[in-house]
C-alpha cells in the first residue's frame, strides 16, 4: 500500500516579480578591481600560499577546482569568479542546488534571496512560478539532451531560452528502448512533462538581462565545467510540479561523475572548498576514493593534491598537522576532519568568502 503524497500540483505559485528580495546584484556585487580589504596576517599569508599553489598548478597544466556554498553566489562574487575563469586560474566550479538558483535569479531578474521566515508563515516560500518552471524545464530538457545540471542552466542563460523537442521525435526515441535504454527512458519522462504542461515544439524565449553576473553562463561560454550537487528536497525547485526526479537525477549524476573525473586528475593540482560544510567534503571523499581505485589499477597514486578549506569558523588547530585528538573542539569541525583524511596537504583559513576571493584575485593578478 503506497503512502499518501502531498499534491504539489495544487500549490499556488506566484509570479517571481511579486517577491521581495534581500539582494540586488547590481548593488551588492563584488567588483574584481576594487581594492581588497586589510586582513589579519594569518589569513593574508594563507591566501598568498593559495595563490602560489595555483600558479604552480596552472604552470604545469594541473586542475584548480573550486567548490563553494550558495553564499558565494548570494554575496555577489560572480564577477570575481568570472575574472578568475577568464584569466585561466580556475578549471572547474562546483556548488549546491541553492547556488544554482541564486545565480539564475540574478541573471533573470537581478535580485535573489527571499525572507524565509516571513514567506513560510504565509505558505509562499519557494512557490515562485518562473524559478520553478524555467529551471526545472531546463533540467528536464538538458537531461534528455545529455547535459549535466549546471551545464543545462548555463546553456539556457547563454542562449536566452530553450529548444523544446517535438513529441514525435521523443516517441521515436522511446521506441528505440532496446538500442538506447537510457535515452529512451529520458524521452519517455520528457513526453510526460510536455503533455502535462501542453508544451509544443519550438523555441521558448527566456530573457536574462543580467546574465553578465551569471557564473553558470560564463562557465558554459568558456567551456569550463560548472557542476551542481543537489540533495532531493533541499531546494525550492522541488516545490514546483515541473520538477521531475528522474530527469533531475540524470543531470545531477552526470555532474557528479564530471566532478569525479576532475578529481582523478588532481595530483599536483589545487582544490578549494569555500563555505561548504557538507556538499564539498562529501562529494570529494567519494570522488577521490573512486579516482584512487582507478589510479592504483594503473600503477599510480593521487597524493600530491593541495587542499584549502575556507570558512568563518575559528580554529586553534593547525590542520596541516593532520587530525586533532577527540578531546579537542576542533575535532568536531566535520568538514576539516573529512579533508584531513584525504591525503595530500590541507590548510584551513578563517575568512569571509568575499574577502578570500577578492584578495586571491588580486594576488594572482600581481
Separation of alpha carbons 105 and 243, rounded Å: 17
Segment 20-53, tens digit of pLDDT: 999 999 999 999 999 999 999 999 999 999 999 9
Rounded Cα distance between 49 and 30, Å, is: 23
Could you tell me whether strands 161-164 and 111-112 are parallel, antiparallel, or unpaired per DSSP bridges?
A: unpaired
Stretch 151-170: mean pLDDT: 97
How many CB atoms sit inside 10 A of residue 296's CB? 11
pTM for the predicted model, two decimal places: 0.96
CA distance 6 to 11: 10
Residue 1 has pLDDT above 80, yes or no: no
Cα-Cα-Cα-Cα dihedral sign, residues 349, 353, 355, 358: positive
Q: For the segment 276-296, what is each residue's pLDDT rounded down to a tens digit?
A: 999 999 999 999 999 999 999
- Residue 256 has which C-alpha cell? 557528479
Residue 366 pLDDT exceeds 70: no
Hey, CA dihedral for 204, 209, 212, 216, is it positive or negative?
Answer: negative
Write down the pLDDT at residue 219: 98
Q: Give the model's pLDDT for residue 322.
A: 84
Q: Domains along the chain?
A: 24-125+211-365 (3.40.50.10690)
Amino acid at each position: 500500500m503506497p503512502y499518501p503524497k502531498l499534491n504539489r500540483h495544487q500549490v499556488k505559485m506566484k509570479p517571481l516579480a511579486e517577491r521581495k528580495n534581500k539582494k540586488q546584484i547590481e548593488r551588492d556585487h563584488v567588483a574584481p578591481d576594487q581594492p581588497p580589504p586589510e586582513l589579519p596576517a594569518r589569513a593574508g599569508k594563507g591566501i598568498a600560499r593559495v595563490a602560489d599553489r595555483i600558479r604552480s598548478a596552472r604552470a604545469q597544466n594541473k586542475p584548480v577546482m573550486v567548490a563553494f556554498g550558495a553564499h558565494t553566489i548570494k554575496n555577489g562574487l560572480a564577477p570575481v569568479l568570472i575574472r578568475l575563469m577568464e584569466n585561466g586560474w580556475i578549471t572547474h566550479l562546483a556548488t549546491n542546488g541553492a547556488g544554482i538558483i541564486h545565480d539564475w535569479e540574478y541573471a533573470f531578474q537581478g535580485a535573489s534571496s527571499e525572507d524565509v521566515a516571513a514567506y513560510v508563515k504565509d505558505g509562499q516560500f519557494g512557490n515562485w512560478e518562473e524559478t520553478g518552471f524555467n529551471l526545472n524545464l531546463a533540467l528536464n530538457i538538458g537531461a534528455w539532451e545529455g547535459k549535466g545540471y549546471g551545464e543545462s542552466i548555463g546553456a539556457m542563460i547563454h542562449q536566452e531560452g530553450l529548444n523544446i523537442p517535438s513529441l514525435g521525435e521523443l516517441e521515436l526515441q522511446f521506441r528505440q528502448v532496446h538500442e538506447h535504454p537510457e535515452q529512451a527512458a529520458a524521452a519517455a519522462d520528457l513526453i510526460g512533462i510536455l503533455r502535462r504542461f501542453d508544451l509544443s515544439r519550438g523555441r521558448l524565449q527566456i530573457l536574462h538581462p543580467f546574465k553578465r553576473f551569471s557564473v553558470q553562463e560564463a562557465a558554459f561560454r568558456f567551456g569550463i565545467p560548472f557542476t551542481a550537487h543537489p540533495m532531493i528536497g533541499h531546494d525550492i525547485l522541488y516545490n514546483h510540479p515541473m520538477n521531475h526526479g528522474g530527469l533531475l537525477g540524470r543531470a545531477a549524476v552526470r555532474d557528479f561523475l564530471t566532478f569525479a573525473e576532475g578529481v582523478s586528475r588532481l595530483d599536483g593540482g589545487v582544490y578549494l572548498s569555500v563555505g561548504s560544510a557538507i556538499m564539498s567534503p562529501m562529494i570529494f571523499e567519494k570522488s577521490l576514493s573512486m579516482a584512487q581505485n582507478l589510479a592504483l589499477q594503473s600503477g599510480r597514486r593521487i597524493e600530491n593534491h593541495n587542499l584549502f578549506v575556507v570558512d568563518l569558523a575559528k580554529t586553534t588547530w593547525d590542520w596541516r598537522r593532520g587530525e586533532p585528538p577527540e578531546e579537542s573542539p576542533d575535532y568536531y569541525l566535520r568538514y576539516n576532519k573529512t579533508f584531513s583524511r584525504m591525503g595530500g596537504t590541507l590548510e584551513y583559513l578563517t575568512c569571509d568568502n568575499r574577502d578570500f576571493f577578492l584578495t586571491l584575485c588580486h594576488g594572482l593578478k600581481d
